[in-house]
Structures are given as structure tokens and as C-alpha cells.
Amino acid sequence: MTPREIRLFDHIVVFFRQTAKDEKAMWKAENEEEFNYFKDLLKEELPKLFALEREFIQPLFQSFYYMQLNIFHTVQERMQQVDIGYIDLAQLGLGAARVGRKGVGLGDRMFGLGA
């Protein structure tokens, strides 16, 4: 290679490096601009979303809660009517039901804590 070709090659390399730097800076600026756009959009839209949640989702969860509570009360009333001779269901709590002749709690028997 002649010295002229070497200088020409060096200029081409420098040009491509500069172009790559410019392209990288432009890409970074575009991404930063896009990021700021979405960040500002979230700042504007999130309070609206939370207001909609208060208006719609909370009453929905409350209705599900009361529906589930109603089901539990119905199950409890029907369980009170069941007559199992050796278990007193009126006292049924967390392991509070007692077996009349053995004296071991139902919860104790279930979890292997009784005799």
C-alpha cells in the first residue's frame, strides 16, 4: 500500500467511527425521548386508573366477600344440623370439638396431636 492509500484508509476508518458514534448518540437520544414520553404518560394515567379501580374493582371485591360469607354461613347452619353422636359440633372451633368417650379434640386427632 502506498502512503496515500494508507491515509485514505485512515480517513475512511475515522469517518465510520464518527458515523457510529453519531448513530449511537442519536439512538440514545431517541430512546431517552421515548422513555420520557412513556414516563410522563404513566404519571398522567395512573391516577385515573386508581380512581377507576376504586369505583369498579372495590365494590366487586366487596360483593364477592359478602357472597363468600353467605356461603360460609349456609354451610355452618347445615353443619349444625348434622348429628354425629361422639362429636359435639356446637363447640367446633380450632380443635375445640371433643370426642365424648375418648376426650381427644377433633383437631388434635386430625393433626396427630392426641392419644
Question: 33-84 pLDDT, tens per residue?
Answer: 888 898 999 999 999 998 988 888 888 889 999 999 999 999 888 877 777 7
* Collapsed DSSP state (helix, strand, coil) of residue 85: coil
* Collapsed DSSP state (helix, strand, coil) of residue 99: strand
How does residue 98 score in pLDDT terms, banded at 50, 70 and 90? very low
Q: 18 or 5: whose pLDDT is higher?
A: 5
Q: Residue 101 above 50 pLDDT?
A: no
Average pLDDT in the chain: 75
Phi first, then psi: give them for residue 38, nearest 5 degrees: -70, -35
Percent share of the chain, pLDDT over 70 = 71
CA gap 90, 35 in Å, rounded: 62
For 98, which DSSP code? Answer: B
Burial class, 104, CB count within 10 angstroms (exposed 0-12 / middle 13-18 / buried 19+): middle
